Amino acid sequence: MATENKALITLFGATGDLAKRKLYTSLFKLYQKGYLADHFALLGTSRHEMSDEEFQEMVLDSIKDIPAKDGEAEEFSKHFFYCAHDVTKPEHYAKLRDRLAELDKQFGTEGNRLFYMSMAPQFFGTIAINIKKQGLLTDDGYNRLVIEKPFGRDFDSAKKLNDELSQTFEENQIFRIDHYLGKEMVQNIQALRFGNPVIEALWNNRYIDNIQVTLSEKLGVEERAGYYDHSGALRDMLQNHIMQVVAQLAMEEPVAFTDDDVRVEKIKALRSLRVYTPSQAAANFVRGQYGAEGSQPAYRNEDGVDPESGTETFVAAKLMFDNYRWSGVPFYVRTGKKLADKFTRIDVVFKKPLIDIFANPNSGNEQALHSNVLTIFVEPKSGFALQLNAKHVGQGYTTEPVDLKFLQSDSAKKESPEPYERLFHDALEGNHTNFASWAEIAYAWKFVDVIRNLWDIEKPQFPNYTPGSMGPAAASELLARDGRKWVYDLNK
Ligand code: NAD
């Protein structure tokens, strides 16, 4: 049974792409399920002038494809209000303050305020500071801040932003969105690990040889070129999404499944991530940029991209954790655009038996057994598979790899909330489990800054991979030099 959340949401960036594509649809689904009902309202803001009615029309248009009961969408839209506002003008906040006070009374939201920043990151600090200075905070219920990515461009800018946010909000009031943490199978990592002794007992350097995380995109930069060219794969994907996934794979079991306990363990894991020296970083990171393919332009020739751009559209890295559980086990990660397919998966490669009794060197079969591999399919399919060795059916005795597989059905996947719905719900409930804490972000930036500083000085040899491949050859060499291979490899 859904419990109703009483909340007054202030949305900065209410006419933006994210709001229209993800936020209103997520709120509508929460409304349909009863997590939001009579006692909620949203005050949208952006620079455009618009009436409440026009804003409600915009919201209705955003949710028009979601099946709904008669009149449900219209009822929902009546909870939406609008106030034109330039976030850089302190005097404009007075309008918001007065409107919020009215809406709080009208909808009985009991002083619960959630501020959602869905706009360009250069405004985040200014908004936070003005929320307090101009009296938008409540003394009655809660004050929470939900903030979009990116959280800084490096450690220094992230720290500056965090210091600005901290002038208004305590750490436990801040919800930093990383939508990968809203994905079903990313959340499932913890159930899989801590719910199954058969897995967790082997989850260490005695049994695991290496772990691989791949976030592969098939598309290029599309309409995000302007933003992407100033960001690149390292900042856009590795520093946040990949580091969050890796932290869940590497963390120790929390004392209890509460947000505080999970957070403590993720932070501890990231503290033991080896921060490379510049020369180690150069050896353990690979960057790439896609070239042209047939009629498709090279990255440098995409609209909105600098024709001499040195921005990486691919990154791979080897991460090492210096702690008792993981010492000696590499975590290989990679992500890129215009790769072979769109998918996210994690491959946990177990060590082979010390002795392979099924090998038959006399017949040229030096190694019969394959590694056991646990694959977590994050998307588009959701589930996991465990590769085991089994006897090949038939006369004689040879072994072959077989899969124990669980894939979520299409109907289960349809039922599963989208990341933004899940995360909005968690923020309304005040649950931080699936949000990134400042300490996690700080460790991730410190790790990433070393290679970024190096790459910013050294001119890359771009382009260096073909669309439809799995990135530059150096990404395979990163593993080959350790005697290993990517489990998902087109060249098998
Ligand atoms: P957008 O450019 O589409 O929208 C920005 C919004 O901010 C608009 O409503 C605009 O009117 C408003 N705005 C701009 N300047 C303003 C000012 N001075 N005062 C008041 N309002 C102002 O951006 P978006 O794509 O919706 O992204 C919003 C945030 O979400 C960004 O932090 C982005 O990185 C993040 N994000 C977006 C996506 C996506 O798919 N669009 C995905 C992940 C994260």
In which residue are the tokens 């909005």 written?
424
User: Which 3 state secondary structure label does DSSP give 184?
Assistant: helix
User: Which 3 state secondary structure label does DSSP give 282?
Assistant: helix
The type of residue at 324 is Y
Across 120-124, 331-335, 394-398, least confident range: 394-398
| Contact of 369 with 399, CB cutoff 8 Å | yes
User: What percentage of the chain reaches a pLDDT higher than 70?
Assistant: 100
Centre of ligand 1 to C-alpha 321, Å, is: 36
| Residue 1 predicted with pLDDT over 80 | no
* Cα dihedral 90, 21, 187, 388 sign: negative
Residue nearest to atom 11 of ligand 1 (CA): 46
| Contact of 302 with 221, CB cutoff 8 Å | yes
Domain with CATH 3.30.360.10 in the chain: 181-480
Q: How do 80-84 and 40-46 pair as beta strands?
A: parallel
Centre of ligand 1 to C-alpha 118, Å, is: 5
pLDDT tens sequence across 177-219: 999 999 999 999 999 999 999 999 999 999 999 999 999 999 9
Q: Which of 17, 85, 180 to mutate to test the pocket of ligand 1 (most atoms within 8 A of CB)?
A: 17
Minimum-distance ligand 1 atom for the alpha carbon of 121: 32
Nearest to 436 by CA among 228, 183, 167, 149: 149
Query: Quick one: the chain helix, strand, coil %, rounded to 5?
Result: 40, 20, 40
Give dist(CA 303, CA 222) in Å, integer: 8
Minimum-distance ligand 1 atom for the alpha carbon of 124: 32
pLDDT for 2? 87
Give dist(CA 441, CA 450) in Å, integer: 15
Give dist(CA 337, CA 299) in Å, integer: 10
Q: Rounding to the nearest 10 degrees, give the CA dihedral for residues 27, 30, 36, 41.
A: 0
Centre of ligand 1 to C-alpha 346, Å, is: 31
Q: Tell me the CA end-to-end span of the chain in Å, nearest whole number.
A: 49
In angstroms and rounded to an integer, the radius of gyration of the C-alpha atoms of the chain is 25
Nearby residues of 110 by Cβ (< 8 Å), 6 or more positions away: 6, 39, 104, 140, 141
| Residue 258 predicted with pLDDT over 70 | yes
pLDDT tens sequence across 237-249: 999 999 999 999 9
Domain with CATH 3.40.50.720 in the chain: 7-148
pLDDT tens sequence across 105-128: 999 999 999 999 999 999 999 999
DSSP state, residue 314? E
Judge whether 39 counts as a catalytic residue: no
Name the pLDDT band for 396 (thresholds 50, 70, 90). Answer: confident
User: Which 3 state secondary structure label does DSSP give 326?
Assistant: coil
The type of residue at 473 is A
| Residue 257 predicted with pLDDT over 80 | yes
- Tokens representing 97 are 């303050």
| Contact of 438 with 430, CB cutoff 8 Å | no
Average pLDDT over residues 310-319: 98
Which protein residues touch ligand 1 with a CB less than 6 Å away?
13-19, 46-48, 85-88, 118-119, 121, 148-149
CA distances from 384 to 218, 316, 329 (A): 22, 23, 21
Give dist(CA 156, CA 378) in Å, integer: 32
Centre of ligand 1 to C-alpha 123, Å, is: 10
Q: How do 331-336 and 314-319 pair as beta strands?
A: antiparallel
Centre of ligand 1 to C-alpha 15, Å, is: 8
For 6, phi and psi rounded to 5 degrees?
A: -95, 120
pLDDT tens sequence across 62-111: 999 999 999 999 999 999 999 999 999 999 999 999 999 999 999 999 99
| Contact of 382 with 407, CB cutoff 8 Å | yes
Residue nearest to atom 23 of ligand 1 (CA): 16
For 346, phi and psi rounded to 5 degrees?
A: -125, 130
Q: Is 3 exposed, middle or buried (0-12, 13-18, 19+ CB in 10 A)?
A: exposed
| Residue 464 predicted with pLDDT over 80 | yes
pLDDT tens sequence across 127-183: 999 999 999 999 999 999 999 999 999 999 999 999 999 999 999 999 999 999 999
Assigned CATH for 181-480? 3.30.360.10
Compute how many other C-beta atoms are within 10 angstroms of the C-beta atom of residue 123.
16
Minimum-distance ligand 1 atom for the alpha carbon of 227: 34
pLDDT for 491? 72
Catalytic residue among 85, 241, 425, 432: 241
Average pLDDT over residues 334-341: 97
| Contact of 489 with 470, CB cutoff 8 Å | yes
Give dist(CA 287, CA 316) in Å, integer: 7
In which residue are the tokens 């003394």 written?
139
- Summary mean pLDDT of the chain: 96
- Tokens representing 355 are 């002795």
CATH of 7-148, one of 3.30.365.10, 3.30.70.270, 3.40.50.2300, 3.40.50.720: 3.40.50.720
Give dist(CA 338, CA 298) in Å, integer: 10
The type of residue at 150 is P
| Contact of 470 with 216, CB cutoff 8 Å | yes
Average pLDDT over residues 405-414: 92
| Contact of 273 with 247, CB cutoff 8 Å | no
| Residue 492 predicted with pLDDT over 70 | no
| Residue 489 predicted with pLDDT over 90 | yes
CA distances from 295 to 299, 312, 422, 427 (A): 13, 21, 40, 45
- Tokens representing 361 are 């060197």
pLDDT for 463? 97
